Structure 1
Amino acid sequence: MFSPNQLEHPGSIDALKYGELIILGYNGSLPGGNRGRKRSHFALYRRANANGVKPSTVHILSNPQDSKLSKSVLQAVNSKIHHSIAYTMSRSQTVVVEYSHDDETDMFQIGRSTESPIDFVVMDTTGSTKDSEDSSAPSTISRFACRIVCQRSPPYTARIYAAGFDTSKNIFLGEKATKWKNPDGHMDGLTTNGVLVMHPWGFPEDPKQGEWREISVCGDVYSLRDTRSGPARGQLAHGESSALEDGSLVDLCGATLLWRTAEGLLHAPTLRHLDALRLELNAGRPQCPVGLSTLAFPSLPRSHSLEERQPWAYLACGHVHGRHDWGQRPERHREESSSGSGGGSGTGGRRECPLCRSVGPYVPLWLGYEPALYVDAGAPTHAFVPCGHVCSERTVRYWAETPLPHGTHAFRPTCPFCSAPLSGPPGHVRLIFQGPVD
């Protein structure tokens, strides 16, 4: 396993990158900063030595308590040398599939656990499958949620599988878990809350949303269950693959991850490019129509705290202003709209735009600073509603049309930079800046 420093700077070990996983909702950095295996994005590099595994021997234990075969297999399972998946079919029968070393693949594991088998520690994202008021609820992300297996040779295909091996190198599917034997005889199953995947078409040049599917423990693709943890699996999606593509989304029931291939990232905008767009926007000296003060987007290190010259916008019309107290609506209007204001504006409700009299949320604007979330390198002309995150028109339209899993069976579009549910349609607004009057 790479050290945190090697994850960012693999150096002479092996600098070939398979791709990156980006957690939606953090805009480039966790609240406490990206540290070690806890980070808002995770780069997958080819390992110095292959650590992949592949299925080998299958054992059917008809009487796990008394069988000598059972004891020998269980000793192997508990030896922490061999990987295995155990399927408990009933109290009297367990099927154990042993896995052997595969020197052609690298395996990376993702989950909530901070134990050593997990390469990328992922926590619940506020606003994704949980409401912000329910942040104290138990996590719905599995401790060992999923694993990604990458081919070490071209074309370096990355495939996703539900569930990860624990500290004993085992995966256990208990008696109540959804599992079955396929016609070809191999065992398979689903995890409690499932691992969902959506592969888009034409990402990022002309992206179109694909269908959400569920991935099994063995990497097969199924239609969704009736509810997230329902007992019956969906229909096998014939011809569909667990191979991740540039722009694929992976949902762990509590956090949604975006997969970007190494090649795709080469064509994505960089932080330097996004900052150049910020400087170009500020160079236009946009002004507040009310206070006539010059507005400016803060630089990246200060992009999470309000500044005096911070641009604000009326999201019903898109007119950009500086912060002011003009246009407060009566208290009854605030109560009616408080659930939709979002973005942490601190204004207490709806406001009336002094230019066009449109009434709606009035929030500070924040630049989207996670480059991998952009589908192009266009100018920051649009904002998500109601959070006020700003990015290019094509980017805002793509995400506003992408429903993300929410709860046990719902889907809704959210801002990829903060995971706030979008209001709408359309869920975004074109910003209208006023230039200097001099």
Structure 2
Amino acid sequence: MFSLGQENISTKGPVKYGELIVLGCNGSLPAGDKGRRRSRFTLCRRNKANGVKPSTVHSSCTPQAAKAVSNKEQHSISYTLSRAQTVVVEYTHDGAADMFQIGRSTENPIDFVVTDTLPGNQSPALGPAHPPALQSTISRFACRIICQRNPPYAARIYAAGFDSSKNIFLGEKAAKWRTCDGQMDGLTTNGVLVMHPRRGFSQDSAPGLWREISVCGGVFTLRETRSSQQRGDAVDAECNTLVDGSLIDLCGATLLWRTAEGLARTPTVKHLEALRQELNAGRPQCPVGFNTLAFPSLRRNGPPDDRQPWAYLRCGHVHGYHGWGGRCEPAAERQERECPMCRARGPYVPLWLGCEAGFYVDADPPSHAFVPCGHVCSEKTTAYWGQIPLPHGTHAFHAACPFCIQPLGGGAGCVRLIFQSPLD
């Protein structure tokens, strides 16, 4: 679909299963991508399979169960039913699968370290919109993804991850139950939610329903609140296999799953840079100051400069910065202002191009801005994300800009930008 998208798949090197991209990180973390703490994580076939699958079940506190839990070379999941009874499920090696673990912990078993994402964290002009959270709601060992090493390379998600002792513990208060075939299953404290889009990840996609994934990969309707001890209803018609565009919510951060095939049809950062240069080559002007405007480099951070485009988000007219009656205080800059072109009143903000190519559903030029953050991308990309309800808190949902996860406003959540062509 996109000629430049083929750069996303290399014909050399290991097999690429897909990528996880953190919503709210516009191309990189605020402090930069370092080690396992990054804005996106690539899952590739490992040199040696490390997958696991359930094997022996110990239904009581037997010596064998205690040995399985204490053995640091043995993966196991412990389900505490009462002080007197714990069911332990041993896991054995699966040579046909690779396991990747995601969570807040920086311990070695975690492949992708994810921390809480705050709305507005990536706005260079405004900085963090909220103070740092006192306590994270993301589990230290939040979830695990099991990828089949052979085609079609199915990737399946499971709640909870194994700790440094290769154990998963579900305490007395955790939601847990025995399945119809006698196996155990359960949910983690704040849960792992997944939403699979309908018709894939494209300009024709539509949001699916949010579901909760269990420790054993079962699919359930949502609990009344994230930490409720009463699980939802089983959804037997759905499965835990990720598809291109699946969203994974860890109660504090939301991840987008992109398959290798999907990324091949997605514009690259190089293509976005070409669109930026083409937009700037049109020499858009401020209709008031008549100075030429230019979008800054995709990787530039810092406050807006003199050429930075600003826009009135009620009408979409693009200007350079101007402060009527003297410069406004930073807080006042975000208050409603009257557009000198059409007199519409609304937010007046600097415009920033969306840098994370994985969020785009097409390769069209940047023409629309999210309201009220001012991140700019293609029309169909704003339309897609404007219809996606993202989890917020313990039971609320709202649409948000994928580049900074600020909740959308202004009716449609976006506005078409109106640029003034040069007069000469």
Q: TM-score, normalised by structure 2?
A: 0.93
- Counterpart of 2:106 in structure 1 is 114
Total equivalences in the alignment? 410
Local SS of the residue matching 1:301: coil
Residue 128 of structure 1: how far off its partner (Å): 9.1
Say if 1:128 and 1:114 are closer, same or farther in 2 by CA, change over 3 A: farther
The letter of the residue matching 2:262 is G
On the 8 A contact 1:327/1:351 being kept in 2, the answer is no
Highest RCO, 1 vs 2 (Cα 8 Å, sep ≥ 6): 2
Q: Which string of whole-angstrom CA distances, capped at 9 and with x for unpartnered residues, describes residues 266-318 of structure 1?
A: 01000110000000000000000111000000112315542220000000100
Q: Please list every run of at least 4 consecutive aligned residues from structure 1 whose deviation after the TM superposition is greater than 3 angstroms.
A: 8-12, 131-134
Structure 1 residues 25 and 220, CA, compared in 2 at 3 Å: closer, same or farther?
same
Q: 2:333 aligns with which of 347, 362, 367?
A: 347
1:177 matched residue in structure 2? 174
- Retained in 2: the 8 A contact 1:349–1:361? yes
Q: Distance in 2 between matches of 1:9 and 1:385?
A: 33
Q: Are residues 1:186 and 2:178 paired?
A: no
Cα distance in 2 between the residues matched to 1:175 and 1:193:
15
Residue among 68, 74, 89 paired with 1:82? 74
Q: Which runs of 5+ in 2 are unaligned?
A: 1-7, 122-127
Match of 2:211 in 1: 213
Post-superposition Cα deviations, 1:225-264, rounded to whole Å, max 9, x if no partner, equal 0111111100001210100000000000000000000000
Out of 150, 155, 160, the residue aligned to residue 158 of structure 1 is: 155
| SS of residue in 1 equivalent to 2:93 | strand
Match of 1:25 in 2: 24
The alignment partner of 2:88 has SS state of: strand
**Structure-to-structure mapping, 1:121-270, within 5 angstroms:** 121-127=113-119, 132-202=129-199, 203-270=201-268
Secondary structure of the corresponding residue to residue 55 of structure 2: strand
Aligned amino acid, residue 190 of structure 1 = L
- Any idea what SS the aligned residue of 2:130 has? helix
Which 10-residue stretch deviates more, 140-149 or 198-207?
A: 198-207
Question: Which residue is 1:67 aligned to?
Answer: none
The corresponding residue for 2:14 is 15
**What one-letter code is carried by the residue in structure 2 that aligns with 1:200?**
P
Contact 1:205–1:376 (CA<8 Å) still a contact in 2?
yes
In terms of mean alpha carbon deviation, does 76-85 or 247-256 score higher? 76-85
Runs of 5+ consecutive residues of structure 1 not aligned to the other structure: 1-7, 65-69, 335-343
Q: What amino acid is the match of 1:300?
A: L
Equivalent position of 1:341 in the other structure: none
Give a deviation string over 1:311-369, Cα, whole Å, max 9, x none: 0000010000001103899x9xx9xxxxxxxxx88615111100000111100000000
Q: Which letter maps to 2:256?
A: L
Inter-partner Cα distance in structure 1 for 2:59 and 2:208: 38
Cα deviation code 1:96-116 (max 9, x no counterpart): 000000000000000000000
**Aligned mates of 1:391, 1:10 — CA distance in 2:** 26
Q: Deviations over 1:128-185 (max 9, x none)?
A: 99x9435232000000000000000000000000000000000000001000001111
Aligned to 2:368: 382
User: Pick from 348, 367, 388: which aligns with 1:402?
Assistant: 388
Alpha-carbon shift at residue 10 of structure 1 (Å): 10
Partner residue, 1:95: 87
- What's the RMSD between the two structures over aligned residues? 2.2
SS of 2:81 mapped into structure 1: strand
Q: 1:313 to 1:180 in 2, by over 3 A?
A: same
Name the CA distance, whole Å, in 2 between partners of 1:424 and 1:235.
35
Instruction: Tell me the TM-score normalized by structure 1.
Output: 0.90
Q: Choose 71-80 or 420-429, whichever is displaced more.
A: 71-80
Give the deviation of 1:23 after TM superposition.
Answer: 0.1
Aligned to 2:63: 71
Does the 8 A contact of 2:196 with 2:245 survive in 1?
A: yes
- Counterpart code for 1:389: H
| Counterpart amino acid of residue 179 in structure 1 | K
